[in-house]
């Protein structure tokens, strides 16, 4: 083995990656060659110095939080209900292959609080007969109306082609900040979409049910927090959710 060969092998040797035959040849060379031995010692000395670097152990709070959030009952992937037409299911599979990361349950209480706030705002509006404050099926009219009142511009999607007519919009509050509500209808049930800006990274769709008969579908995308709430049957809500989510991801 020449010095040139040995030099190329120094790191691999120090990392224990050489096979037995090469190891023997390397050690034989280094035993007889001061220059190469010095280089090997320099490499080993660096490794020893690097061991002074802090090894960061998981804080106890993290270990607990992981245990809590990964307990089986809390981990729920969202899948569209099976009664969808087969072509819809296939399309949904494509859409949700990309969006299937579970949202980290870092703060379960925050999601519960938000679901409550979203439902409260809906019920308040229903009770006071103000489900929509601007009644229009034209996204071009609803969007600027909302933008002027909530301080951000929501993306108002036209889903008429899928049979979901836009009934209008409403400016509301969720968790103390302005939220835009867009209301859609296909059959008897209204579907409300509440949107507000967020700094959370994009997350895939998650589902929640409220015992009073309302269902939520929610996700983060493009700097916005989306919460859909409705008493529509799950199949219809999933159809709506899939189309809206896909349209928003397309940026249409």
Partner 1 sequence: MTQDLLEPHLDAAYNLARWLTGNPTDAQDVVQEACLRALAAADRFRGGNARAWLLTIVRNTCYSNFRARRGQATTAFEEETHTPDAQHRTPEDVALNDELARDVHAAIAALPSEYREAIVLREMEGLSYKDIADVAGVPIGTVMSRLSRARAQLQQALASHRRSQS
Instruction: Name the residues that contact partner 1, by CB under 8 A.
Output: 11-12, 15, 17, 42-43, 45-47, 49-59, 61-63, 65-67, 69-71, 75, 77, 100-102, 104-106, 201-202
Candidates 228, 223, 225; CA nearest to 244 is 228
Alpha-carbon dihedral of residues 65, 67, 68, 70, nearest 10 degrees?
A: 110
Let me know how long the chain is: 252
Which of 112/126 has CB closer to partner 1?
Answer: 112
Shortest distance (Å) from residue 21 CB to partner 1: 18
> In this complex, which beta carbon is closest to partner 1, that of residue 144 or of residue 201?
201
* DSSP symbols for 152-213: S-------GGGT-EEEEEEEEEETTEEEEEEEEESSS-EEEEEEEE--SPPEEEEEEE-TTS
Nearer CB in complex with partner 1: 69/137:
69
Smallest gap from residue 182 Cβ to partner 1 (A): 25
Q: How far is the CB of 34 from partner 1 (least distance, A)?
A: 15
Q: In what order do the strands lie in the sheet with 203-209?
A: 134-135, 165-174, 177-185, 190-197, 224-230, 215-221, 203-209
- For partner 1, the closer of residues 104 and 151 by Cβ is 104
Nearer to partner 1, 77 or 165 (CB): 77
Residue in 219, 208, 143, 210 with CA at minimum distance from that of residue 182: 143
Q: Among residues 24 and 101, whose Cβ is nearest to partner 1? A: 101
Nearest-approach distance from CB 96 to partner 1, in angstroms = 12
Q: Give me the phi and psi of 194, to 5 degrees please.
A: -110, 135
> C-beta of 232: minimal distance to partner 1 in Å?
27
Q: How far is the CB of 202 from partner 1 (least distance, A)?
A: 6
Distance CA 203, CA 97 (A): 12
């Amino acid at each position: 083995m020449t010095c040139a060969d040995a030099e190329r092998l120094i790191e691999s040797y120090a990392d224990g990656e050489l096979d037995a035959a090469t190891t023997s040849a390397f050690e034989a060379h280094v035993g007889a060659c001061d220059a190469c031995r010095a280089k090997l010692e320099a490499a080993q000395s660096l490794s020893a110095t690097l061991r002074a670097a802090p090894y960061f152990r998981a804080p106890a709070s993290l270990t607990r939080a992981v245990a809590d959030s990964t307990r089986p009952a809390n981990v729920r992937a969202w899948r569209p209900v099976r009664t969808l037409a087969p072509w819809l299911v296939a399309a949904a599979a494509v859409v949700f292959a990309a969006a299937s990361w579970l949202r980290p349950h870092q703060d379960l209480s925050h999601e519960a609080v938000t679901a409550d706030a979203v439902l409260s705002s809906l019920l308040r509006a229903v009770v006071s007969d103000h489900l929509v404050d601007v009644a229009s099926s034209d996204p071009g009219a609803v969007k600027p109306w909302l933008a002027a009142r909530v301080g951000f511009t929501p993306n108002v999607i036209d889903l008429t082609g899928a049979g979901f007519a836009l009934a209008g919009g409403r400016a509301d509050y969720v968790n103390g900040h302005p939220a835009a509500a867009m209301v859609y209808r296909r059959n008897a049930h209204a579907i409300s979409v509440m949107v507000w800006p967020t700094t959370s990274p994009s997350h895939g769709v998650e589902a929640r049910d409220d015992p009073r008969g309302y269902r939520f579908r929610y996700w983060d995308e493009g700097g916005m927090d989306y919460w859909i709430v409705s008493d529509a049957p799950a199949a219809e809500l999933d159809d709506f959710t899939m189309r809206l989510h896909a349209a928003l991801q397309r940026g249409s």
